[in-house]
Structure 1
Amino acid sequence: MDRIFNIKHLSLRVRIFLSMIFLTLIASILIAAVSIYQFKKEARLYHQDRLERKENAIVEHINYVLQNTTYPLTTKNIPLIFKEKIGEISDVHSMELNLFDLRGNLLISSKAGFKQDKETSKINPSTLKIFESAIDKRYVEFQKIDTINLRKSFTYIKDNKFKPLAILNLPYEEDTDFYDNELKNFLIRFGQVYAFMFLIAIALSYFLSSYITKSLKIISDKIQETELNQLNERIVLEDGSQEINLLVQAYNNMVDKLEESATKLAQSEREQAWREMAKQVAHEIKNPLTPMRLTVQSFQLRFNENDPEIKQKLDDYSNTLIQQIDTMSSVANAFSNFATMPAQQNETLNVVKIVELSLDIFNEDFIRFSSLEDEIITRLDRTQLIRVITNLVKNAIQSIPDEQENKHIEVDVFREEGNVIITVKDNGKGISEENKARIFEPKFTTKSSGMGLGLAIIKNIIENYNGTITFESKENIGTEFFVSFPITT
């Protein structure tokens, strides 16, 4: 479930939007809950107050009857005193009333036949006990019968000396229809207003979240575009908040420092590259100069114009010098090719066909070519593509020891997500872990001969087309190079 929805993975804009909607929803729910509670509280207070007013009026009426009766004021005489009056009191106050003795037994009721109901002809002992212990000698009991809320109030009827004569019980049925209808009408009106306000809240949340995150998105886009090897633009915001302005200022300072660092790094890299290049050129040229010097010195010491083999020796000396001169020329050409690549002569070509033709110059029968398609068209320089393939295949051949059996090199071409992929896989010695990080460095080589510029040159070619070259290798198992060119038309 965490993978399906995790708020931490949402963008800041979405989180602000959802938070504002959530707050609006919670506020509306709280308003509705408080309103419902208030309606119910007002209903309870209304019925409580109404019962108290009815009770006070009935008690005054009963006291009036007691003051004007000819019967002695005793508990036993209560039924006689109110025999004719209890119905009148009930009609006047529109209330049912019951009079119990001090032990909770029914004396008289305004409801006909009430005495015959055994369950209601006596006060519940627990209710009577609570009533007797009440400080103000008054108690209200709540009951719910089906859907009817019933209140029963209990209070003492006293004589002229404030001595309790009987217990007055007033059953009061709460009529909640009025408040229920009011609450229903309120919730309907509230729901209509809330639905309208919720739509407005969604629109406002969307625009506010967009406005709040607009500046952050600008900064985020600029940060994603920031690179060490390019000129990065500063951010200019005119209406940003204080926090956003601080963030923009920090980014602009970073861009300034990055540009300064990039300049220093580029200068340092150029100087280091020229130093390394000079060392390598000097080393490669120095190698053939030594045998050339020794050859000339030997020719000087042994020159004899009368020697019958003088012509043969002169040819041998000349061939030696020419060979060393060719070596120096090869060194110069190699570094020249690395330093300045020829201009691209792009043309629309079939990569599958060109790769297959590139392999024709190799005589090894263990080289295998395959392609999932007969035709993958893009724009490339034919010569440079052939150079990439031949260099990779040549390296693959050289990585396989001569004494190894079951040699094989596989060259594959296929299409993948708008790119043409070329792979060259061999089962040679592989590349050691310490050499993997340096494999594309200029002048790095693991061979006894060569100048280590081949992979550096083809990497330069591939990156000029916004392509990539990577590899996977395991020692004594083999190596596989992956070349990717974007397909363009």
Structure 2
Amino acid sequence: MVDFIKKNIFIIILFTITLFIGFVTFLTFIDKSFIQLTQNNLQYLLVLNIGLLALLFGFIFFEVKKTIKNDIDKDGLSSNKKYITYFSLFTLIPSILISIFSLFLFSFALEKYFDKKVTTVVNNSYELAQSYVQEVRNKIESDIVLIAFDTNKAKNFLNANENEFKRFLKTQKLIRDVDEVHIIDQNKNLILSSSDDTSKYIPPVDDALKMVLTDDRPLKIINAFENTSSAIMRLQNFDDRFLYVVKLLGKDISRYLTESQEAINFYYTVEEKSTGIKISFAIIYIIVVTLLLFLSITIAIRFSSRFFRSINNLILASVAIGDGNLNTKVPEIKTDKDLELLNRNFNSMISKLKDQQEKLIINERHEAWGNLARKLAHEIKNPLTPIQLTIDRIKNKFSDQINSDEQDTFKDNLKIINNQIKQIEKLVNQFSDFARMPKPILQENDLISIFNDNIKLLQELDKNIEIKFNKNSEKIIFNCDQEQLGRVFFNLIKNAIESIQQKSENNKDFSKKIAIDINDYNDHINITIVDNGIGFGIFAANIKDILNPYFTTKKNGTGLGLSIVSKIVNDHNGKIEFIPIDDGAKIDILFKR
């Protein structure tokens, strides 16, 4: 997920900006934005929205195109493209249908929002609240006239007794259903009041008092913020006396009026800009749907490519195997665990097929060379006895007839012939050994012991050669033929010694070393023999030929030693590799348990 965000960070930033501008446009249409609701501002915002939306579409198009090129086209699998197309269509078509339905539903809801019945209710509710306030204001005007009339009428009675005057004001307060009745002078000083707590007295504004100084008509005073309605009137029968009456409106009535006014203003603003609101809503919806489509298509491509890339690799590998190329490997890629297991099992199967093929080829080769060796041994061995008998007769018959000065030459020639016959006999015996190679008799044997015996024996050939023997266990038990494996180790170590000796003929100033490592693991045994002799030389390029019978790098070699070694290793479910190195040769043997 983090990699996906990093890869598409620019698109995500552009989407966020575009979505923000879309919401700002929507809020501006309903006059709830920090941008002033004007025709020019709306035009600018709409143009900016369209530009950003086009830019977002462009980047998403190129990103999807690049993803398809990187994750689908390079695999070249037509089914991958087909499933991606189906997935994209199945995502796109419902999204378009939902978008159309949502826009239709929003348009329908908006039209119902401006239904005549709703408009009537909105207007009537506000007018009803206004009527209530107006009624309270008109009533206080009539109430102050009646209170002033009664007060003027009782002038003589009220001036005589202050307590009676207060009781009169309290009575008027109850009769006229007002909250406060005050008698003040022209300086707004409180003279008498219907309230016992005069500390809460709030004098009228100066302008109101000035307007009634020379006018006997009542004056309404409205303080909407304090939820009060009041009136002031000059008392004609009293000098410098004014009647000040206060009526408290219903709790929170002014707030309700303000909110109602704002709601009505918002309602008609929305009604006036309904087309623009629909457009801005459509833009916001398209922006969100666009990103969701991009996310779904990108995720589809990513998961599809993970799946089909593995399938494609398996198809290509199977085609290569069908053509006989067992060196093919399915690439190890990060995908689902089941597919990773399938890839590993497929590669394991290829490796086993290759091993079996190599063993079959080796067995067929050894069988063919064995038949040839058997025939050659038979054909060569038959004339050797008559030749040897004939030489003996020649020696007995003609040795006395040859001059004394030619006797030495005659004997040397016969000796050369005998030596060559012995060489041919040796070769015939090796042919016979190779042809009669028996099947291994498997028993539990200690490989460490077999190695130690051969190292001790071969060390006598050249004590100047340092042979290091490293092992990870004191005993390594393996089910094998002791005699045959002893022959393998003997031949390989002897070849290493001879390679070092051949090198020392031209270069005596070097440290002669042979390193033997044997390691026992749970499922296999690994043996490595490294020497710093002449190596494989010109044969390094075609190192596999070294295992062919009668192929040799030695002057007097028959070329059968390594072939026999290879056959014995193969018969023991093993594998041998000859690896050229910079200074010498390396032999790696792997025995599977």
TM-score range, shorter chain: 0.3 to 0.5
Higher strand share: 1
By percentage of residues, which structure has more helix?
Answer: 2
RCO comparison, higher one (Cα < 8 Å, 6+): 2
Question: TM-score, structure 2 length as denominator?
Answer: 0.40
Q: Which has the larger radius of gyration?
A: 2
TM-score, normalising length from structure 1?
A: 0.47
